[in-house]
Structure 1
């Protein structure tokens, strides 16, 4: 039983009255009380343990009651002497703060904003993130320009799928080798090589297009070379983000990368739509080539060096990966659901130009459509960057997957450009929330020695399966329409999401 506390209060040095304190001042006063109360009083007063060891119910509640009463007397006292020995606070001891509860809410809002960008406090990650900002915008410009150029040259939705497949197939074929390379060699130099290659290929394609010397075979060949570059770049980039941000800021760094990618998804297609309409797709390719420059400079400025892991034998890379996936069903199940998203729910990317034409739009309308999906994705990225709550992550994944399916079905049912924009915002939010959350969970779970190989599989399910998605959705669009292809894909994806969470209990423990 904690004895009643009676400590003679020290008188204030000055006669200034006790100041009314705000919410933040009360918190400081309470902390001060607990600190003093936990120290033996050498003048003969009893020592207090504000959090005593657990004992029988009445004693514990009595101790808590005594502590609460003592603190209340400190806060509510208005005279120079108090029941508990804390000298009154003078006016100059209390920082000036706006009165009212709004100051506390403002502090919380500012803290949340700071938390949303905490990974940028790391110098090297900040340089890498800023270097990607321009480059990723150019990437989205290239995506729009390539699709529109193929449609103008051929008029075939099927060949749109073929062009997308040419860029994605190398990611599938080179998955395990590229993951091994990312684990075994310096990731920064891998990124420098792939970025330089992409800049040169894109620049040549732009010059050929501006000179009116391009045909569809050149576009598809260029897409295939860029696909090889992407196959090597993706696992290295995902692993390099973890290297630069560190374990403490990894989740925030992944969310910021997703936010960057999807913010560019809003800006890039809009710029590309205007450029294509005014001067043609060739200049969009050239602008994309120039956009790689800041990333190359940033990679050269980064000081932190990735230390490659020695002792990884090429013949052991795949067996070790398979054994890990068998032991860790959460990672395997998330990769399977991401694969179903690519195959069934990526029609708004693959068939974007054809979809825009069906809805009565031109290149500008295509840019706005992709930007609408990007706007929803930005909202999802901001939400993920600002939160640190890891509870009930599986419900967020389930909600996001169903939102993506709902958005695609909505585009099919609406048959309206204006309504389609709203449904694409929903689909964009669902896609990025599911992808970024899955990325965070996977990178949090996997050991560093396997990170490159696991992230190469992540790249496979997001990009390497695009050939199958392009052929499947392109065939449906050729036979029926692009909106029907989107809707049927959305229905199939929604069913796989529900089945996955119902049949794999491990997904409810992520």
Structure 2
């Protein structure tokens, strides 16, 4: 039935009734603010060191390329070992890399190759942490609240995105980029403390059968599911060429409008207005996940990118960015929810590892390509190209998998391989 909603108890924020999720949410919020402060500072540092959009694309790509190789490993760890301890280790390493980069900048010794190395190390830690964190949420809330919890994580991330870029812009203008990295490192104290003090009794125990499922079985599982194959291909198109908001804003702010760090940071907050609105809407509605909905959202997202590229001034570009942010988040949440809730729990961690490998792994292709287009043809032309690729890629997936986009009623491993 059209407009069918998931069966659920009422309440947009109902997952907060679970103590472990509540403290995880609050701690993640402060940590995510630090993450966004660093993202803006890192982009600005690269532009300060090189004044080259292509170099910015390279750094973005280096931070994303580990997702190709390590996300599935993170998913494997998530299915075999206690996720809480894994998250503590992964987040500690991210804090360490941020601290090192901050010290290099403040001491005046930073060079572009340092940024390359730190970006790569951050990417490795983040690529392992992402599927573990996604799977961990399913352990601290019951089945009936999982969709709500997944959406609330997006609300969390984008609430922080509303604050972090603006804070970073003002910090860079006042103190330079170095303190922003130190700020991010310190912010991890919140998430590490939350994980340490979490009640272990409220965490669902690991199913011993999960450790017996291998990566190749997860790949075979996806191959046997046309709806998941379509989702993974669709994710490649919209994530590779569309999910580059900082790169888009950096090139438009500096190359199209000639703005400084403070105004660049404010653009990140403009994106967050739309992202937060989109994630809150997704949390409230909780439409049944499905690849068809992701396709429709992805096409709308592509048009939002093109609309932003046509803005005649900085002010109009800032006004258009909430539409971009809303399109980006509704697409991302729909894809994440479809991948996670449409998979057998025994293999969910590894399916999410593969999903993140595709979601983030395309950035080493998309970011340098868009940066190169911006340098050669201009930032507007680069954004128009990105938007068109997202639109036509989505239409291709809809055509290629027509009639096979609905998930089966039984998504278990046994049912999938016995069809």
**TM-score, normalization by structure 1:** 0.74
2:365 pairs with one of 468, 472, 480: 468
Residues 259-408 of structure 1 mapped to structure 2, 5 A cutoff: 259-304=155-200, 305=203, 307-310=205-208, 317-358=214-255, 359-390=257-288, 396-408=293-305
| Structure 2 Cα separation of the partners of residues 326 and 470 of structure 1 | 28
Q: CA deviation at 1:235?
A: 0.7
Q: CA deviation at 1:488?
A: 0.5
Aligned to 1:429: 326
Is residue 2:310 matched to residue 1:413? yes
| Structure 2 Cα separation of the partners of residues 435 and 467 of structure 1 | 19
CA contact (8 A) 1:186 1:306 kept: no
Q: Considering only aligned residues, what root-mean-square deviation do their CA atoms show, in Å?
A: 2.0
CA contact (8 A) 2:21 2:141 kept: yes
| Structure 1 Cα separation of the partners of residues 352 and 79 of structure 2 | 10
Aligned to 1:445: 342
* Structure 2 SS opposite 1:360: coil
Q: State the Cα deviation string for residues 210-264 of structure 1 (Å, max 9, x = none).
A: 1212111111111111111111101100000111112110110011001111111
Q: CA deviation at 1:446?
A: 0.5
1:492 pairs with one of 382, 389, 396: 389
Q: CA deviation at 1:309?
A: 4.1
| Structure 1 Cα separation of the partners of residues 281 and 9 of structure 2 | 11
1:115 pairs with one of 11, 14, 24: 11
Aligned to 2:117: 221
| Structure 2 Cα separation of the partners of residues 261 and 236 of structure 1 | 16
Q: 1:232 to 1:394 in 2, by over 3 A?
A: closer
Residues 32-181 of structure 1 mapped to structure 2, 5 A cutoff: 115-181=11-77
Q: CA deviation at 1:412?
A: 2.1
Higher relative contact order, chain-length normalized (CA < 8 Å, sep 6+): 2
CA contact (8 A) 1:415 1:483 kept: no
CA contact (8 A) 2:158 2:276 kept: yes
| Structure 2 Cα separation of the partners of residues 208 and 333 of structure 1 | 44
Is residue 2:104 matched to residue 1:208? yes
Q: 1:332 to 1:495 in 2, by over 3 A?
A: same
Structure 1: unaligned runs, 5 residues or longer = 1-111
CA contact (8 A) 2:291 2:335 kept: no
Q: State the Cα deviation string for residues 328-384 of structure 1 (Å, max 9, x = none).
A: 222221121111112221343234322211222111111121211111111111111
Q: Number of residue pairs matched? A: 397
Q: CA deviation at 1:410?
A: 1.4
Q: 1:146 to 1:507 in 2, by over 3 A?
A: farther
Identify, as 1 or 2, the structure richer in helix: 2
**TM-score, normalization by structure 2:** 0.90
| Structure 2 Cα separation of the partners of residues 212 and 206 of structure 1 | 10
* Structure 1 SS opposite 2:129: helix
| Structure 2 Cα separation of the partners of residues 199 and 407 of structure 1 | 34
| Structure 2 Cα separation of the partners of residues 311 and 406 of structure 1 | 44
Residues 251-266 of structure 1 mapped to structure 2, 5 A cutoff: 251-266=147-162
* Structure 1 SS opposite 2:205: coil
Q: CA deviation at 1:118?
A: 0.5
* Structure 1 SS opposite 2:39: helix
Q: State the Cα deviation string for residues 48-92 of structure 1 (Å, max 9, x = none).
A: xxxxxxxxxxxxxxxxxxxxxxxxxxxxxxxxxxxxxxxxxxxxx
Aligned to 1:33: none
1:231 pairs with one of 112, 127, 137: 127
CA contact (8 A) 2:230 2:405 kept: no
Residues 172-191 of structure 1 mapped to structure 2, 5 A cutoff: 172-191=68-87
Which has the larger displacement, 171-180 or 189-198?
171-180
CA contact (8 A) 1:185 1:309 kept: no
CA contact (8 A) 2:254 2:260 kept: yes
| Structure 2 Cα separation of the partners of residues 248 and 409 of structure 1 | 38
| Structure 2 Cα separation of the partners of residues 172 and 137 of structure 1 | 26
Aligned to 1:242: 138
| Structure 1 Cα separation of the partners of residues 209 and 13 of structure 2 | 36
